[in-house]
Structure 1
Amino acid sequence: FQFRNRRNMTDIPQEIDVLSEENEKLRYQVFCKTSGCTEVVSAVYAPCGHLINCSKCANALKYCPCCHTEVKKVIQVNLK
């Protein structure tokens, strides 16, 4: 039992690194991609369906920043 616990303790720093990387990726996915904006994504572009901006930034754009499709409608969503 003690040997197994010691082995697991040596794995913890590596596991922390992996979880930290995953956390950063998820954190990036949640926030608006417009430079300088810190709002949570809350708008879906139609017809393309990309979810990459907050409502304020999305409503200011005529083309989807991801695929450059003309935005016909901005649909508000709540990810909470």
Structure 2
Amino acid sequence: MRAQLLEANQRTSPTPTYISPQQRQETTKTIATEKRISVEEYQGISNQSDYVPVRAHIRNGKPVRAHYRRKPGK
């Protein structure tokens, strides 16, 4: 009888899962506040709708890397 109760409790109770700090950082997205962020930083932010992409281009004879900038008026 006791063994049956223990078995039933083990089946119904959820197993607690441990999330390491590294896994938590991967799942938690930050909020960016800078005017200009890199492509890598853009992937890890939660407010992606506040930024617009800028393609890589040449400006005054010098290359500019692709990045994201804040939307105008923000």
TM (normalized to structure 1)? 0.28
TM (normalized to structure 2)? 0.29
Larger Rg: 2
1 or 2, which has the higher helix percentage?
A: 1
1 or 2, which has the higher strand percentage?
A: 2
